[in-house]
Amino acid sequence: MARKNEVMELDAVVIGAGFSGLYMLHRLREAGLQTRVYEAADGVGGVWYWNRYPGARCDSESIYYNYTFSEELYNEWSWSSRYPEQPEILQYLNFVADKFDLRSGIQFKTRVTTARYDEDLNRWQIETDDGAVVSAKYFITGVGCLSAASIPKFKGLDSFKGEWFHTGHWPHEKVNFAGKRVGIIGTGSTAVQAIPVIAKEAGHLTVFQRTPQYSVPAGNHPYDSEYVRQAKENFSEIKQQMRESAGGIPTKPANPSALADTQEERERVYEEAWAKGGVGFFSETYSDLTINEDANHTAAEFVRSKISETVHNPEVAKKLMPTYYYGTKRPIIDTNYYETFNRENVSLVDVKTAPIVEITPKGIKTTEGEYDLDAIVFATGYDAMTGALFKMDIRGKDGVTLKEKWEEGEQTRTYLGIATAGFPNMFMITGPESPSVLSNMPVSIEQHVEWIADCIDYLRENGVETIDAKVESEEDWSKHCREVAEATLFTKTDSWYMGANVPGKPRRFLIYLGGVGPYREKCSEIAAKGYEGFTLEASSKTVK
Ligand code: NAP
């Protein structure tokens, strides 16, 4: 480790020891690069390290929610259930870190504060919160898309006499809600997982809901060993299907249009998907749900009818009914979410019509009343896609910060979601304008890590000093991303996909919707053409 005022020279610095950083470290080490990962936590895991809230689990099926770069690893690990809980996923990532001996390359409990590109040296100068400075040729971010917690700036939070938590920074020790009056703000994917679990323990749970959500039963169940054995036997096929699929998970093809079927046939399709549980209700029923308003309406109506069947109190059921286009906020899967509102110790407060005005010493005050609470859970989400990057002072050419370039200037622009012009030799794993959060993350992460590792190999083999996205390439890519998104219903809903959950954040859809398979092909094509759309420079002259 470098002591204060001593600059350690590295080939590559990677930020984050989650799915992204762990594999990036492994690949760069294999390529012989001196690499160091910086991680703020005291362990590996990324979001799975931090998200320890009650009920936290994955909602990609577990046999697909893992690395596929090593068949040996795939064979050595066996998941217990269809949607495993956070401790098991964290255990998996620890297993990976041990198997590939990664811990020695990670500096834990260290936050990168600044990263500046030095144009004279063609190197990144990186500073950490322990005062150390390192210099690296390549600077790679694996900071996650949903890691910068968003806590609304409610007046009076400091005055609250009880305990409060954000789900993304949950304590390591068990939080005791037994017999307590608990309030939870939010009804996104996180809250939908947490509410049924907290409700079982709390004396009373009050749910503060701004936007009701569509949620489909997860249909979680323990795996039988034969199913897991078959997955391992079909490893190569599964891996290929994941890589070529639209969302990073092998899916059965959806019917082309909800409107082509009769009402009766549609009901059958939806009922079947509902009974099977999981994200198939979104991805395997009809392929026009996110592009055609009328088709979307049929799915939305179906879920609303299920809410009204499930929730006994008609007034509560009505409050729980969403009206936005189904699927244009993150599709949610749950275990007993709507059922939980039948419990006597659970109440629902609509904070859309009567917003929260302040947190008081005793609880939460809305425009209609005050709710006394012993604990408040903020399930209020994240400053997604860009928040974690903006927490660092990242400066490219001419000292321009990433924030200036993306927020105050012409707004977020990237080339493939991997690079951004003016920041040479910087790579983002699942950056804005890549499929990222609208895909099964480990698949997209692996694809980026492999692309970046191959790119660095190419640069070294060809005597290239720097690689930088061309301005026109990122303009074209951003335009393409916008066009694909605007042809869907996604941009018609206020969601974190659009940055709408963070006051003042520019509204832009920052995820590439063209599908994991086609996106991979596009990235590979660009690499095969000698990194088309990038400027490659040798120490003093342009290579291309
Ligand atoms: P989220 O989807 O952004 O939900 C935040 C919730 O807080 C929303 O209901 C939001 O209401 C509410 N909220 C925010 N500010 C508020 C305010 N000032 N007053 C009242 N309500 C407010 O965040 P999340 O649930 O943490 O999920 C984020 C993402 O993480 C998910 O979409 C998913 O991609 C990922 N995630 C994945 C898993 C998994 O794989 N199992 C689990 C959890 C989360 P509005 O809707 O009105 O803004």
328 Cα: distance to centroid of ligand 1 (angstroms): 13
Of 286, 312, 328, which residue sits at a domain end? 328
SS3 state of residue 488: coil
3-state secondary structure of 286: strand
The predicted-structure confidence for 233-289, as pLDDT tens digits, reads as follows: 999 999 999 999 999 999 888 999 999 999 999 999 999 999 999 999 999 999 999
Q: Are residues 43 and 140 in the same domain?
A: yes
Residues 388 and 422 in one domain: yes
Give the closest residue (by CA) to ligand 1 atom 20: 210
Look at residue 334 and tell me if it is in a domain: yes
The answer as to whether 220 is a domain residue is no
Is residue 225 assigned to a domain? no
Residue 234 lies in a domain: no
Do 333 and 323 lie in one domain? The reply is no
Index of the ligand 1 atom closest to the CA of residue 351: 20
Nearest CA to ligand 1 atom 31: 189
Q: Tell the residue nearest (CA) to atom 33 of ligand 1.
A: 189
Domain count, the chain: 3
pLDDT digits (tens, 9 = 90+) for 321-367: 999 999 999 999 999 999 999 999 999 999 999 999 999 999 999 99
Asked whether residue 346 falls in the same domain as residue 208, the answer is: yes
With respect to residue 242, please indicate whether it lies within any of the assigned structural domains: no
End-to-end CA distance of the chain: 37
By alpha-carbon position, which residue is closest to atom 48 of ligand 1?
A: 501
Alpha-carbon distances of 34 from 116, 266, 432, 462, 526, rounded to whole Å: 19, 56, 27, 19, 27
On whether residue 271 sits in a domain, the answer given is yes
Which atom of ligand 1 is nearest to 211's Cα? 47
> What does the DSSP assignment read for 397-462?
GGG-BHHIIIIIIS----BTTTB-TT-TTEEETT-TTBSGGGS-HHHHHHHHHHHHHHHHHHHHHT
Cα–Cα nearest to 360, from 187, 153, 154 = 154
How far is it, in rounded angstroms, from Cα 318 to Cα 306?
12
Ligand 1 centre distance from Cα of residue 503 (Å) = 14
Strand partners, 216: 333
Tell me: do 206 and 137 sit in the same domain: no
The residue written with tokens 């968003």 in the block is 150
Say whether both 142 and 183 belong to one domain: no
Q: Do 142 and 159 touch, CB atoms closer than 8 A? A: no
Question: What is the extent of the structural domain holding 273?
Answer: 251-328
DSSP, residue by residue, 316-368: HHHHT---SPTTSS--EEESSHHHHTTSTTEEEEETTTS-EEEE-SSEEEESS
**Alpha carbon of 402 to ligand 1 centroid (Å):** 25
**pLDDT score for 506:** 87
Q: Which residue, by CA, sits nearest to atom 14 of ligand 1?
A: 380
Ligand 1 centroid distance, CA of 46 (Å): 18
Are 118 and 165 contained in the same domain? no
Same domain, 84 and 121: yes
Ligand 1 centre to CA of 181 (Å) is 22
pLDDT for 410 equals: 58
- Whether residues 396 and 506 fall in one domain: yes
Q: Tell me: do 104 and 21 sit in the same domain.
A: yes
What distance in angstroms lies between residue 21's CA and the mean position of ligand 1's atoms? 25
Atom number, ligand 1, closest to the C-alpha of residue 500: 48
Same domain? 285 vs 301? yes
In a domain, 452, yes or no: yes
The full DSSP string for 192-234 is HHHHHHHHHHBSEEEEEESS---EEE----BPPHHHHHHHHHT
Ligand 1 mutation pick, 169, 210, 365, max ligand atoms within 8 A of CB = 210
Candidate from 86, 189, 337 with most ligand 1 atoms within 8 A of CB, to mutate: 189
pTM of the model: 0.96
Assess whether 67 and 94 both reside in one domain: yes
* Domain end among 328, 348, 369: 328
Report residues whose beta carbon is within 6 angstroms of any ligand 1 atom.
Answer: 57-59, 146, 152, 185-191, 193, 208, 210-211, 330, 351, 356, 379-382, 437, 496, 501
Distance 171 CA to ligand 1 centre (A): 19
Is 227 a member of any domain? Answer: no
pLDDT tens-digit readout, 420-470: 999 999 999 999 999 999 999 999 999 999 999 999 999 999 999 999 999
**Residues of the chain scoring pLDDT < 50:** 1-2
User: 60: CA distance to ligand 1 center in Å?
Assistant: 17
In terms of residues, how long is the chain? 544
Give which of 432, 421, 443, 448 is closest to 505, Cα–Cα.
432
How far is the centre of ligand 1, averaged over its atoms, from the C-alpha of 211 (Å)?
A: 10
Q: Which of 328, 346, 365 is the last residue of a domain?
A: 328
- Cα 481 to ligand 1 centre (Å): 23
User: Tell me, what CATH number does 175's domain have?
Assistant: 3.50.50.60
112, 128 in Cβ contact below 8 A? yes
Ligand 1 atom nearest the C-alpha of 146 is: 30
